[in-house]
Amino acid sequence: MPHSLSSQDVTTPGGLLLVLAILIPFVGMLIGFVFGGGKAQRVALATLAAGLAIVIAIAHALVQSGDAVIYILGGWKPPLGVALRADGLSVVMLVAIAVVICGIGVYARADFGTPSGVKEARAPLTFWLLLLAVWGSLNLVFVSGDLFTLYVALELLTFAAVPLVSLDGRSETVRSALRYLLYALLGSVLYLLGAVLLYGVYGTLDIPLLAIRVRPEPAAWAALALMISGLLAKTALFPLHLWLPPAHAGAPAAASAVLSGLVIKGSWFLAVRIWFDVFAGVVTLPSAQMLGGLGAAAILVGNVVALRQTRLKLLIAYSTVAQIGYLFLMFPLATGLSSAGLDSVVSVNGGMLQAISHAMAKAAMFMAAGLVYATLGHDRVADLRGLASALPMTVLAFALAGASLIGLPPSGGFLAKWLLISAAITTLQWWWALVMLAGGLLTSVYVFIVVVRTLAPAHEGWKPKSPVPRYQQAVVLALALCSFLLGAAVLCPVDVMQIGRTVSRNTLLP
């Protein structure tokens, strides 16, 4: 039987930081809303800095204590009260998301900055408030230990992300925002239905307590199926991906980076959390293979359709659909390892690294696309001539991010694919390795197409439409470098991701 995540339910020393990590972004949002105008941006940037410090302190506390960081809210122990838990997986995602959001914050100072003396405008204020709301809800998704609090976190994430899609107010973006909202609401209501079933049968919504009580019975399978299908709708896995490309391509550059890089990671992480922690004893290999199959289909369909795109932002959006497929290949490999009695750590680490490197690379790519649009006045892939000379750092960043998506060494994508392929080989599921390599090949095709086109010399007498500030290019390059150099994580002595996780280490399936 699976063991509880961490046996004792008592507040650990670093626990208060978890509460701060959730509430600081929301407090910053509320104060920024009252001040409004230019001051909202300054409040937001200050909150970003404070939040980054808190997240680093949490990581330090986790590594220091060597076990999950826990905080019992209000002193009421679960199952009655709510506990916040941050194990290795949560902290790694917290740090990665904090870095990407700070990068986006610095990048967005140019697009959504309000110079002093200018009256408060709609888009800048909304962007800064919703950026902090997305961050607060993501931190809550990573840290909460209660299924209903996670449902409220999912709703917070949806309500913060949908207005970002229709920020510039054109009717197509409003239409894709409405379609996104309907998919996301269907997803979260199915997730809630699964949680309700679990409470009806096991009497608690706390994840470690559920991990002990859940037995393989019809109600548990129904709850698993409902929750996972709901989260698939929110993460836009293959059959349910129709809403993603128009939504992510229509949004402004900084908002697209938030949507593609961060928002879909929230519901994906929740799927990982319930698959490996709550339903560790219930999941079967065939169900995991089905998830893997959907992931493989997403990789192939997403990449093929991306090849046919004429606009750069839509190309990157369909590339997101494909990369989401990689994230779901981790499930059959981990369950295959567990059912073979081996340790599923390799596959879980591979999946997490894939998620982190994709977050950084995709955010860098969308921000680069924003700079391309600002310089050329359009983002048609056909004629990107003269871009390399106009924006050298941005094209380099795009290439590095593309290399990380393809999986060239020493990038984070390479290390993730290496771990996943080695897991595939040890469990003799060779077809997943084939799919990954094919996906990498297809990704490399459209990345090289774009990069080669930008290297072509510009028409004579062509001048960039509007100058792009250097710090924006520097931020894009920094994020791309982070993703590119993530492969160095293999040198990290202690396996940070597995701290405080006893469940997935020795899950012996019946």
Near other proteins in 125-164, by CB under 8 A: 126, 129-130, 133, 136, 140, 148-149, 151-153, 155-156, 158-160, 162-163
The nearest distance, CB 126 to other proteins, in angstroms, is 4
388/376 Cα distance (integer angstroms): 12
Applying CB under 8 A, among 109, 175, 385, 453 the residue interacting with other proteins is 175
User: Both tokens of residue 53?
Assistant: 């410090």
C-beta separation of 281 from 350 below 8 A? no
Site for other proteins in 34-73 (CB under 8 A): 34, 36, 71-73
370/495 Cα distance (integer angstroms): 36
Binding segment for other proteins among 16-24, 93-101, 404-412, 463-471 (CB under 8 A)? 16-24
- Residue 361 contacts other proteins per CB under 8 A: no
Identity of the residue, 306 or 368, whose beta carbon is nearer to other proteins in the bound complex? 306
User: Both tokens of residue 188?
Assistant: 């979260």
- Residue 119 contacts other proteins per CB under 8 A: yes
The nearest distance, CB 65 to other proteins, in angstroms, is 19
CA neighbours within 13 Å on the CB side: how many for 479?
A: 36
Applying CB under 8 A, among 199, 373, 418, 431 the residue interacting with other proteins is 199
- Residue 297 contacts other proteins per CB under 8 A: no
Applying CB under 8 A, among 53, 56, 57, 189 the residue interacting with other proteins is 189
- Residue 123 contacts other proteins per CB under 8 A: yes
**What residue type is 402 in one-letter code?**
G
Binding segment for other proteins among 234-242, 281-289, 373-381, 432-440 (CB under 8 A)? 234-242
* Dihedral Cα 366, 370, 375, 377, nearest 10 deg: 110
Identity of the residue, 176 or 394, whose beta carbon is nearer to other proteins in the bound complex? 176
- Residue 498 contacts other proteins per CB under 8 A: no
71/185 Cα distance (integer angstroms): 30
Identity of the residue, 129 or 424, whose beta carbon is nearer to other proteins in the bound complex? 129
Q: How many residues would you count in the chain?
A: 510
List, in order, residues 6 or more apart from 374 with CB less than 8 Å away. 465, 466, 468
- Residue 201 contacts other proteins per CB under 8 A: yes
Binding segment for other proteins among 47-55, 178-186, 381-389, 411-419 (CB under 8 A)? 178-186
Cis bond before residue 79 (omega within 30° of 0): yes
253/366 Cα distance (integer angstroms): 6
What is the x/- site pattern for other proteins, positions 413-442, by CB under 8 A? ------------------------------
CA neighbours within 13 Å on the CB side: how many for 502?
A: 14
Nearest to 347 by CA among 326, 319, 362, 321: 326
- Residue 228 contacts other proteins per CB under 8 A: no
Site for other proteins in 333-352 (CB under 8 A): none
Residue with tokens 């409470």: 199
User: Both tokens of residue 329?
Assistant: 């290949």
